[in-house]
Structure 1
């Protein structure tokens, strides 16, 4: 959701490179896992930037162009951050004389096609925001309810990515009784779906979102993934350690656990949770850039195996999250959610290794390697901090 209406029913994402179709959802599958939309898109998790959490409705084409410039120039694009996504409030209050959506003439005077050309010229892709109801969540833009031609409009403008909301839908839920659980049905209409309410730039919100997203591990398939909302890193509401925890957990949170032979055969195409930056990258601090640019952590998110990472141990505020990677490796986060420093012990049996296994543990934030660990890894972790490892059996 764009963040204005906490009672909005769901968030749905579509990716498009040609004439996309906004179409009704199919009924929920009898089992959790189901094939995702087979449109050839979304085969890898999206990485990029979104305007909402930092700018809200205070956006214009100059800001978007400058964000695209920054993404191309500061090294983030080379790391895989490729989408520049405009959220709510880009459009005129009313449709044009032909019933089509139109950009706000005062804030986007050049129009969306020209902006798409500019973004594409930077080697990036443009995303845009729409809504399935009569008006968007801000109520400042028309929604697409009753206007099937909007998808063709977005495609004709050169839009690559559609973030599709569901405010003001006049009670026309896509799935009766399941509208708040898009993981159960959205795989048939989009390449990604929100699993939680809107994130806020606070420790309490971020940790609650992580917990809520954890239960949706098995509700996705090739070409589609769960979305626990955008990254708050760099917006100023949390400490550096809290942001490192935020980034580490979002990188680890991936798609389904292998549940049957069908999934086993296609697991190499399963991908991870989105990494969408939502701060002002034109003026981000060195610390923020270092967090968002950590190639070790990004590699966990983009790993070709793409199997779900989830919470595997909990002792009060001390937790261990883990998930398998390609090559028999394990990604592991020791997360201290308490208010004081604490010791956390991750047992090999909890993360999927035999107790007798000898392994090296690569700390993804310090780049140090703990050699020849057997049975468990015990570390002291600061308050609201984490230690993130890739464990490689010898």
Structure 2
């Protein structure tokens, strides 16, 4: 706390954590009191060693324990999306994982369920109606800076998490990150998209081949729009204003949030050349 950081802990709803250390089952109220005494701000609660337990019931017990602890503690549900927590967790936790574990790669998949950035991104489409202030879909922590992708890919990863109004948790070692990584994680204009007061999760509004367009409505009436190139070569990606809920004839100003540059007024649509595995992130304002 003295360094301006929050204090988060990890535990598990079962008898053992995923690292085979003691879990919280049967000790939820004792654990919550101890967490409060330690000044914990955030609890991630995993789902290993749970055998026949019911997800909603188990997480509700820890929710009740945290509420009685006397300290506000953010409750992160991590049962990997297996019971569709977005349908029941709004009144149980503050955020819930929607998928298996993220991997530091563009599109890899692991036999045990881990997956790369674009696979997790695809699984968020359609979940936007379940998210809002105080109850968020969690596509997992950021891999930005961990070395498995390049800076272009990390900008795409970070941009789309911001469009999704995802909880932004740096998964890299912030003590030793390169300047280009710090620049990604601390771009105020991009972070502002994630933190917009409306709390609306963005959605995919267009897909053509390897090109995606994702858009997020902002509290000022503007739109944040990510032009994503999933392909292995540069590509022209376009968005029509009608794709993002504006009249087709509208003239709107466009700002590039990574370049931090105003791109002028555009009537009806906007297009950009997007690098391979890259993104152009813009703010559109009528």
- Mapped contact 1:131–1:166 kept (Cα < 8 A): yes
2:150 & 2:140 partners in 1: Cα distance? 19
CA RMSD of aligned residues (A): 1.4
1:365 matched residue in structure 2: 258
| Structure 1 contact 134–170 (Cα < 8 Å) conserved | no
- Offset of 1:306 from its aligned partner? 2.0
3-state SS of 1:282 partner: coil
User: Residue 37 of structure 1 corresponds to which residue in structure 2?
Assistant: none
Matched, 1:193 2:96: yes
Tell me if 1:386 matches 2:279.
Answer: yes
CA distance in 2, matches of 1:307, 1:285: 31
In 1, Cα distance between equivalents of 2:139 and 2:186: 20
What is the rounded CA distance, in whole Å, between the counterparts of 2:207 and 2:82 in structure 1?
A: 31
Q: Which of residues 213, 226, 239 is equivalent to 2:150? A: 239
Counting only pairs closer than 5 Å after superposition, residues 176-215 of structure 1 correspond to structure 2 as 179-204=82-107, 205-215=116-126
Larger radius of gyration: 1
Task: Report the counterpart of residue 151 of structure 1 in structure 2.
Answer: 32
Q: CA deviation at 1:333?
A: 0.6
Asked if the contact 1:137/1:167 (under 8 Å) is kept, the reply is yes
CA distance in 2, matches of 1:158, 1:290: 31
Among 242, 261, 267, which residue is 1:374 paired with? 267
Structure 1 unaligned regions, length at least 5: 1-119, 254-271
Query: Which of structure 1's runs of 4+ aligned residues deviate more than 2 A?
Result: none
Structure 2 portions without partners, runs of 5+: 58-80, 108-115
What are the within-5 Å matches in structure 2 for residues 103-252 of structure 1? 120-139=1-20, 141-148=21-28, 149-175=30-56, 179-204=82-107, 205-252=116-163
Asked whether the equivalents of residues 173 and 179 of structure 1 are also in contact (C-alpha less than 8 Å), the reply is no
Q: TM-score, normalised by structure 2?
A: 0.86
Structure 1 residues 392 and 237: alpha-carbon distance in aligned structure 2, compared to 1, 3 A threshold: same
- 1:112-160 Cα shifts (integer Å, max 9, x gaps): xxxxxxxx22232201001000000111x10011113111111111111
Larger displacement relative to structure 2 (201-210 or 178-187): 178-187
What is the TM-score of this pair, normalised by structure 1? 0.63
Determine if the alignment matches structure 1 residue 297 to structure 2 residue 190: yes
Partner of residue 167 from structure 2, selected from 274, 299, 303: 274
Q: Shift of residue 163 of structure 1?
A: 0.5
Q: Provide the residue aligned with 1:101 in structure 2.
A: none
1:348, 1:376 within 8 Å by CA — same for their partners in 2?
yes
CA contact (8 A) 2:95 2:137 kept: yes
Contact 1:195 1:216 in 2 (8 A): no
Q: How many residues align?
A: 254
SS of equivalent residue, structure 1 residue 155: helix
Give the number of the structure with larger relative contact order, counting CA–CA contacts within 8 Å between residues 6 or more apart. Answer: 1
